[in-house]
Chains A and B, each alone.
Chain A
Amino acid sequence: MPDPSRPARAYTRRTVLKSAAVTTAGTALSPAVALAGATAPSVIAPGESAEIALSVNGREHVLTVEPRVTLLDALRERLGLTGTKKGCDRGECGACTVLVDGERVKACLTLAVMRQGSDITTVEGLADGDRLHPVQEAFIRHDAFQCGACTSGQVMSAVACIREGHAGTEAEIREWMSGNLCRCACYQNIVTAVADAAREVGR
């Protein structure tokens, strides 16, 4: 299984299209410089913005945000990483699930300023070049989506769910994937895909 925390080498049509936004909104810089900023977050006055460093898919970004900017909005609107979806924007749907230091979290329920110094992995950071992550492949193989709006959240959650060891049975998968809703109700195929990916990863 590729390590999702390593730098992304995947460039999809979307990331290429969005690369202009990335370079204008956030500047990649050497890890040493970013780390110096990351270890000492500073006070930001109400209404003010400040420069923060975020490590996303193995790349360091410096961006200017107000404290009220969620990690989700920072990823989508500032870094152009729109693979992470905004569904409910209140922690109920799971569409914005990303990994922070390897653990799945809801990016809408945390502030970007609180994640300085953490390693963030989004769906854009899962594939290894053209080779998809086993969970992504299993979702395609089992047609585990319809509209696709929840899919990147489902995939990120499934990656963590499998790594946590919570994908042993169908019932266990249903319980431990319960933080991700699918309005198309593709649950049966999602569960099958997660179970299949878990077997694949375990091999």
Chain B
Amino acid sequence: MRAFGYIPVREPAEAVRAVRRAPGAAFIAGGTDLLNLMRDGAQRHEHLVDINRLDLASITDSTRGLRIGGLARMRQVAEHRSVRENFPVLAEALEASASPQVRNMATIGGNLLQRTRCGYFRDAASPCNKRTPGSGCPALEGWNRGHAVLGGSEHCIAVHPSDLAVALLALDAVVHLLGPDGPRHVPMDGFHLRPGQAPHVDTVLRPAELITAVEVPRRTTAVRSRYLKLRDRATFEFAVVSVAAVLELRGDRVRDVRLAFGGIATTPWRSPEAEAVLRGAPLTVDAIERAGRALVREAVPRRHNGFKVALVQRALVELLSGLGGLR
């Protein structure tokens, strides 16, 4: 790892100021992704601003919903009583992520900002438009088994790796930020950006902006929610395909449903098309299969990742039929 300076801070505004002023500065919280990126030369920073002492780790539960501090650790959120009771999809997504050790370290804010696991991005010797804009994308014609079938561009097809982000997207969560111009908030739907012409920009975050909290609105529907993650091994692995579903039934009909997907797209992927097929309809395997087809209508499979198109549809059937009591 190249040398860098270290700036410990105590207040959020001080943290933002430090990252804005110090050359080549970045926040460090858990460090579980950042340090590997710096070791690999995929990211370089002249200064790290240590935000672990900021008072942003608490989780508060109110009638409006859940407010999770940006520095809450993954384990802390997964173990929180209200998360387990009222937002099971969130606890399931967190416990399906990484390893117990990493979940003790990694923060909620950092999880949303983790970078793609695309091997070309992580390998500083490969061209990569996300790491070095304009250098090219070897994944398009190269080894792309793990890559996106939705949301890609001719510049990048790397998948966003977060399970948490997929669950938060299905829960209509909102990200709270503090930047040099003050606080603002951004819905999860729109927080992550598709690569388009600028794959090096992952999110709407502006320079020196800090994630202070994530708010999850309270809805009765979230009690019936689940996360299904399919991987190449049983555990401690990133998703090949994942589905987060929040389902509300009235009788046998779907009153409301919110569906988000991981592993198949360049961003955590919400599918209004699939939701529209199901909303108001009786919940049947046939209806879920139609929703699955709507989800993948625009899919652009590549040489090695075509199986994801079929797999994600089956995952949706598996998850929703279980959640809806069809079997």
Chain A residues with Cβ under 8 A from B105's Cβ? Answer: 105-106, 109-110
CA distance A160 to B102 in the complex (A): 13
Interface centre among B4, B30, B99, B101, by most chain A C-beta atoms within 10 angstroms, is B101
| B6 x A161 contact (CB < 8 A) | no
Chain A residues with Cβ under 8 A from B32's Cβ? Answer: 91, 106, 109
Partner of B35, one of A46, A70, A175: A70
Given contacts A46-B46, A109-B31, A111-B31, contact A68 B100 (CB under 8 A): no
Interface-lining segment among B47-55, B199-207, B282-290: B47-55
| B31 x A114 contact (CB < 8 A) | yes
Report the minimal beta-carbon distance from B224 to chain A, rounded to whole angstroms: 24
Chain B residues with Cβ under 8 A from A94's Cβ? Answer: 99, 101
Size band of the B side of the interface?
Answer: 20 to 34
Size band of the A side of the interface?
Answer: 35 or more
Residue interface bits A68-100, CB-to-B below 8 A is 1, else 0: 101000000000000000000111001001000
Cβ-based interface call for A1 (8 A): no
Given contacts A111-B31, A113-B6, contact A91 B1 (CB under 8 A): no
| B4 x A68 contact (CB < 8 A) | yes
| A46 x B3 contact (CB < 8 A) | yes
The total of Cβ contacts below 8 Å across the A-B interface reads 102
Chain B residues with Cβ under 8 A from A89's Cβ? Answer: 39
Which residue of the partner chain A has the closest CB to B103? A179
Partner of A41, one of B8, B30, B35, B98: B8
Cβ-based interface call for B236 (8 A): yes
CA distance A180 to B98 in the complex (A): 11
Besides A67-B3, A178-B100, A179-B101, 12 other A-B contacts (C-beta < 8 A) = A41-B50, A50-B6, A68-B1, A68-B3, A90-B39, A91-B99, A110-B30, A111-B48, A114-B28, A157-B100, A179-B102, A179-B236
Q: Which residues of A contact B (CB under 8 A)?
A: 41-48, 50, 66-68, 70, 89-91, 94, 97, 103-106, 108-111, 113-114, 157, 160-161, 164, 166, 174-180
